[in-house]
Amino acid sequence: MSTPFIQTADPRAGYLALKPEIDEAIASVLNGPGYVLGETVARFESDFAGYIGVGHGVGVNNGTDAIHLALRALDIGPGDEVITVSHTAVATVAAIGMAGATPVLADVDPRTRTIDPTAAEALITPRTKAIIAVHLYGHPADLDALLRICDQHGLALIEDCAQCHGAEWKGRKTGSFGRVSTFSFYPTKNLGAIGDAGLVATNDPAIAEKLRLLRQYGWAKPQYSILQGWNSRMDPLQAGILSVKLRHLDAHTARRQELGRRYRERLNDLPLSLPTERDDRTHVYHLYVVALSEEAERDRLRAHLANAGIHAGIHYPFAVHEQPAYRDVHRGPMPVTEQLARTVLSLPLYPELSDADHERVCVAVRSFFNSGR
């Protein structure tokens, strides 16, 4: 019998681990009475907002829409600039364009791989209206520095929390610091749906109310638009699934952190750059991303792992500004971002990853360096 292939992430394993609860939640929605928005969505919005410590959560169709509608709710659009990073999923930058605003891209800190506050501040112009801080790989960006910069320059801080559900900065959940924060619940996320889903969180009731209008055609009442809005409603099936998974999120986070700790113990003596966890914040290990000395070395290790039945991902193989659609986007110098795109590799990590499979990955990585490559 062949040895099972180890994936970088395994959403199906997450479903199977909670199958009775998830199936019950799905059945509850199917039994009605409502199939669009309704009580199931409202319950998840309230529970998730309470979990991260904000007043309001507004469920939307996906994480990209969450950023887009957050910008619209802040009246950011054509003629305005929004600073974010190029070392991110392209969705962050695409959403700025969807709002009609202009993205401006900053480099990242080499240790945390999140937005470099100094680089971001250097790009501020009179047209800048917001900074989107991407809490990448599960590690929070430098919120103290970013809040100071935003306060000094009159900017809105938007937290892109697509990869950091449950992470903390000085004992407080990410997603509770910005004027708004956005979440993706894509199936591979730490809190993942079985399909697309997203949410915008805020402490501002006026922004929350505007978001509820924008996600459904600007309707103040059925069939009556007071704003030009969109169709970006969270599916109640996904809301029901997410409510189940939210109850288990802290336990799943603890397992991710344990697996991350074991990776560090087993790989710390190798010529790899391992994830950094700062003392004033918690890392929730959405991904366990290592970096090698050069691109060829990264690619050889990836091939070596594939030969051992292990899939290692690359997050991300191309910086946003290196992709044809965004090559003309204004940006600062990108030495760290461009180096990371050439050298990062994501090792398997998800709550259901067994101790035995985790050890298989460690043994395979170690054998690569012991083989002389």
pLDDT at 277: 85
Q: Does one domain contain both 191 and 325?
A: no
Q: Does one domain contain both 156 and 264?
A: no
Q: Does one domain contain both 194 and 263?
A: no
Q: Is residue 3 part of a domain?
A: no
Q: Is residue 5 part of a domain?
A: no
pTM (predicted TM-score): 0.97
- As a whole number of angstroms, the distance between CA 60 and CA 207 comes to 14
- As a whole number of angstroms, the distance between CA 298 and CA 304 comes to 10
Q: Is residue 1 part of a domain?
A: no
* CA separation, residue 172 to residues 47, 109, 225, 308, 332 (Å): 16, 22, 37, 40, 31
Pair 213, 192: CB distance under 8 Å:
no
CATH number for the domain that contains residue 336: 3.90.1150.10
Cα of first residue to Cα of last residue in the chain, in angstroms, is 29
Phi-psi region of 85 (alpha: psi -120 to 50; beta: other; left: phi over 0): beta
Q: Which of 243, 262, 296 is the last residue of a domain?
A: 243
CATH number for the domain that contains residue 119: 3.40.640.10
pLDDT at 372: 65
Q: Does one domain contain both 259 and 239?
A: no
Q: Does one domain contain both 174 and 310?
A: no
Q: Which of 194, 214, 243 is the last residue of a domain?
A: 243
Q: Is residue 51 part of a domain?
A: yes
Domain limits for position 258: 248-370
Q: Does one domain contain both 304 and 349?
A: yes
Q: List, run by run, the mean pLDDT of 10-residue segments along the chain (373 residues).
A: 87 98 98 94 98 98 98 98 98 98 98 97 98 98 98 98 98 98 98 98 98 98 96 98 98 98 98 91 97 98 98 98 98 98 98 98 97 69
User: For residues 138-148, b (16+ Cβ closer than 10 Å) or e, as one string?
Assistant: bbbbbbebbbe
Strands 56-60 and 198-202: antiparallel
Q: Does one domain contain both 223 and 359?
A: no
pLDDT at 371: 81
- As a whole number of angstroms, the distance between CA 350 and CA 317 comes to 21
pLDDT at 267: 98
User: For residues 298-321, b (16+ Cβ closer than 10 Å) or e, as one string?
Assistant: beebbebbeebebbbbbbbeebbb
DSSP one-letter code for 320: G
State the total domains in the chain.
Answer: 2
Q: Does one domain contain both 166 and 288?
A: no
Q: Is residue 6 part of a domain?
A: no
pLDDT at 103: 98
